[in-house]
Structure 1
Amino acid sequence: MVSIVRTLRHHTDEVSCCAFSPSLLATCSGDKTLRVYNTADFSELPFSPLSGHDYGVHCCCFSSCGSYLLSCSTDGSTIVWSSQTGEVVAVLQHPARSPLRVCAVAPDSSQLLAGACDGTVALWDFRSRTLRRCSAVSEASVVACCFSPCGQMFATGCTHGDLKLWDTDINLLHAEKDAHDLGVTCCNFAPQFKVEGCCVEFRLASCGQDSQLKIWIVSQREGAGCVMKLVHTLTSQSAPVLSCSFSSDGELVVSGSVDKSVAIYDANLGTLLHNLKQHDRYVTAVALSPTMPCFATGSMDRTVKVWRVGDGVSRTAAESRQTVCQGRNLPGHSRLLVADWSEEDVQTWLREEGLQQLVSIFKANDVDGAELSQLNKETAAELGIESVGLRGRLLRKIEALKAEQSGSDAPDEFLCPITRELMKDPVIAADGYSYERESMESWIRGKNKTSPMTNLLLQTTLLTPNRSLKMAITRWKSSQ
């Protein structure tokens, strides 16, 4: 069952892209703005809309931790925004001032990629905001790009129809000529990957002007190039397919088309599960939540529709929920210390962080900011939070909140998601996130076969050294 949770009608021009973080939904438009919503009730945040681009905004995405929102535009700039305050953190200009059509952030937030109309990609060091290189990757406009879940390669698609794979030094690994006749429109890697011996396998979805959605297996052996194998060609949509994305567990792939439809497929079998036709014009954008069974679609009809998959809440129930602190800053943006939060502040923070299932428990136990800051594993269990994964997510978010308010200088991407401490030996797990090796090994030894970040089952417990992140941490430490 798929149902509409909310229809957002705030943009005054066509919607070009949608993106989720664990707790926020961002949308962008030809009206030059971005809008940001709380996923607890899909109310617009106080600092929204964001205005900073001179022309239409083509693409937006969040950093892996959700702290930053990025957008790119015809004006040739990529803007980095704080997702907590909406303030501009940095403006990165394409060296040739070429219009930018697409942007993507590496899973460890170490690098930012922007594809331009002149056939180049600009690769930036995200933490230092410095340009690493700008290289030609196509003779046509680059309109699609995405990083692999391990962050060691990225894919590009162009209006000539080619799909290409590159390492992070922009060395060509593989070129799939004419992957889509008349042009590629979008591409996305599935969040999971498989490791068998010295071979790594990824799944890549791509769509194009040929009205097709394709799913590929990308294989790479150590010391060798990449091989792409076509697994499924999906043709249920009758016009150009403009956008595609995998679900966080990799089980579903969703696409939007010029025929005004949204198609939902079983990504493994390649079978059509749903064909939704509630938009009035082209469906230009799809995005799936990493933490909730829902997705968003954007259209040239200027609306964004939020859909729930499964037995989710009804439209009426979702729309009846209201943010407690409406009309003032949410506690995540407040200057109050955690210890000074009221019980209502704590409950609103839970909703903001995607932990709305805990609101009733905290309300029944009269938990205010002082008690929240002292919460640990034992007291969380005493509150009746039985799910180990949910307790773990709550405690990590509390530690992140305290670290943020304590003024820690270390970038969030340098901190292990489990311990919230600066990583010494970062490794990439099968969920695409980086962790301190010792902490992740301890997590796995404790019979936790799920991701600490997504609570989904890990397809493999193999850990891959994240050398680029380790070097970035070393450089940062030496500069302090």
Structure 2
Amino acid sequence: MLKHLHTLSGHQNPIYTLANTAGGNGFYSAGNDKGVVEWSLDTMTFVKVLVPVQSSVYALHRYEDLLFIAQRSGLILVFDTLSSTLVSTLTYHKKAVFDIKTISSKDELISTGEDGTVAVWSLKDFSLLYTFSVISDTVRTIAISGDESEVGLGCKDSVIRIYNSSDYGLIKELRAHKMPVTSLQYSPDRRFLISGGRDAQLKVWELPDYELVNNIGAHMFGIYAIAYHPTQPYFATCSQDKSIKLWGAHDFKLYKILSLEKNTEGHFHSINKLIWSADGKYLISAGDDRQVMVWEFNS
């Protein structure tokens, strides 16, 4: 189902984040280096350093031709990939920004991180529209529901907080994990919210009531990313335990483990991020070993 295809080297330091290019035939990677790197999926090679950065990049998010680059410094760079120009720098957060997402129906970008606050920005002119405090500590991850009506925030205090995207009012608090929530994803079929924690547990919450329907001891250590396949009923997880796992999106059955300990190709350090290519042909992973790995998917 997943077979190692290429290992792409070039980063000098840990890689924290990945994002697909607008055309779908490539991707970006960034981390503790001094720039965001573009790679080609057609040739499986380095393309260029897209843009230099002043501090570590913890999150990348592409919206149409714009790439949002969230940094440890608290700054968010807005880079136009068509014109190759930096069009704006978003300044609000005083500490590291850990996640950024867009709500396209509202032309809004939301950001959060180590300061425990959420900032809401206009996608039209990049002005700061609204801010609100979530907790006094870190908010690690953001998930947007399929209809964009709800926003889930995974927090360091082990709680998932669900907000209404219309006015950012708090709807629900899920006492989710025994340790910080480190990954969060709504299913494409809008049936579930899945959370992963530093406690190595995967939890499945059934919508619309967020009822806990499954609790899976998925990994040995923290789960850092959850990624649904764009068309097939599977999702992948990656962990600090250096493994990638492929799960059924409906039966939550484990279908594949990619790990050096299981005698497959794999990362030799914590895996921090994974994404699917836009066409679903490839799974792309990156981590503290400074490697980007591309895996071919066959259902």
| Length-normalised TM-score, structure 1 | 0.58
What's 1:12 paired with?
Answer: 12
Q: How is 1:30-429 mapped onto 2 (pairs within 5 angstroms)?
A: 30-46=32-48, 48-52=49-53, 54-63=54-63, 65=64, 67-94=65-92, 96-108=93-105, 110-168=107-165, 169-177=167-175, 179-193=176-190, 202-219=191-208, 227-249=209-231, 251-277=233-259, 278-310=266-298
Deviation at residue 12 of structure 1 after TM alignment: 1.1
Segments of structure 2 that go 5 or more residues without pairing to the other structure are 260-265
Looking at structure 2, the residues matched to 299 and 142 of structure 1 have their Cα atoms a distance apart, in angstroms, of 21
Contact map agreement 1:205 1:245 (CA 8 A) in 2: no
Alignment coverage as a number of residue pairs: 290
Contact 1:203 1:215 (8 Å CA) reproduced: yes
Matched residues in 2 for 1:68 and 1:275: separation?
A: 34
**Contact 1:16-1:58 at 8 Å conserved across structures:** yes
- Residue 85 of structure 1: how far off its partner (Å): 4.2
Which of the two has greater strand per residue?
A: 2
Q: Deviations over 1:293-346 (max 9, x none)?
A: 2111111000111111118xxxxxxxxxxxxxxxxxxxxxxxxxxxxxxxxxxx
Query: CA contact under 8 A between 1:145 and 1:156: conserved in structure 2?
Result: yes
Judged with a 3 Å threshold, the aligned counterparts in structure 2 of structure 1 residues 74 and 128 are, in CA distance, closer, same or farther, namely same
- Partner Cα separation in structure 1 for residue 25 and residue 146 of structure 2: 20
**Distance of 2:151 and 2:14 partners within structure 1:** 28
Shift of 1:145: 0.6
Residue 188 of structure 1 deviates from its aligned partner by 1.6
Residue 72 of structure 1 deviates from its aligned partner by 0.4
- Which TM-score applies when normalising by structure 2? 0.91
- Distance in 2 of aligned mates of 1:57 and 1:268: 34
Q: Deviations over 1:416-465 (max 9, x none)?
A: xxxxxxxxxxxxxxxxxxxxxxxxxxxxxxxxxxxxxxxxxxxxxxxxxx
> Residues 142 and 158 of structure 1 are in contact (CA less than 8 Å); yes or no, is this contact kept in structure 2?
yes
Deviations 1:383-435 (A, max 9, x none): xxxxxxxxxxxxxxxxxxxxxxxxxxxxxxxxxxxxxxxxxxxxxxxxxxxxx
Say if 1:192 and 1:249, in contact at 8 Å, map to a contact too.
Answer: no
SS at match of 2:76: strand
Amino-acid identity (%): 20
The aligned counterpart of 2:263 is none
Q: Secondary structure at the match of 1:254?
A: strand
- After TM superposition, give the deviation of residue 71 of structure 1 in Å: 1.3
Shift of 1:109: 7.5
Question: Would the alpha carbon gap of residues 107 and 273 (structure 1) be closer, same or farther in structure 2, given more than 3 Å must change?
Answer: farther
Name the CA distance, whole Å, in 1 between partners of 2:239 and 2:271: 5
CA distance in 1, matches of 2:134, 2:232: 28
Q: Which runs of 5+ in 1 are unaligned?
A: 194-201, 220-226, 312-480
Change in CA separation of 1:171 and 1:250 when aligned onto 2, cut-off 3 Å? farther
For residue 120 of structure 1, report the CA deviation from its aligned partner. 0.3
- 1:355 — aligned with what? none
Whichever residue aligns with residue 113 of structure 1, its letter is I
**CA displacement 1:458-477 (0-9 Å, x = unmatched):** xxxxxxxxxxxxxxxxxxxx
Q: Distance in 2 between matches of 1:255 and 1:6?
A: 19
Cα RMSD of the aligned pairs, angstroms, is: 1.8
Answer whether contact 2:99 2:140 (CA < 8 A) is retained.
yes
- Measure how far apart 1:163 and its partner are: 0.5
Q: Kindly tell me: are residues 270 and 206 of structure 1, through their superposed partners in 2, closer, same or farther at Cα, counting changes over 3 Å?
A: same
- Determine which structure has greater relative contact order: mean sequence separation of CA pairs < 8 Å that are 6+ residues apart, divided by chain length: 2
- CA separation of 1:108/1:250 partners in 2, compared to 1, >3 Å: closer, same or farther? farther
Kept in 1, the 8 Å contact 2:280–2:297? The answer is no
Distance 2:279 2:105 in 1: 18
Which letter does structure 2 place at the counterpart of 1:37?
W
Structure 2: which amino acid aligns with 1:136?
S
Structure 1 stretch displaced more, 299-308 or 12-21: 12-21
Q: Tell me, in whole angstroms, the C-alpha distance in 1 between the residues paired with 2:132 and 2:177.
A: 23
Deviations 1:141-197 (A, max 9, x none): 0110122222222111111111011122211111112x121101111222333xxxx
Asked whether the equivalents of residues 229 and 280 of structure 2 are also in contact (C-alpha less than 8 Å), the reply is no
**Rounded Cα–Cα distance in structure 2 between residues aligned with 1:85 and 1:38:** 18
The 1:250/1:129 distance shift into structure 2, 3 A limit, reads farther
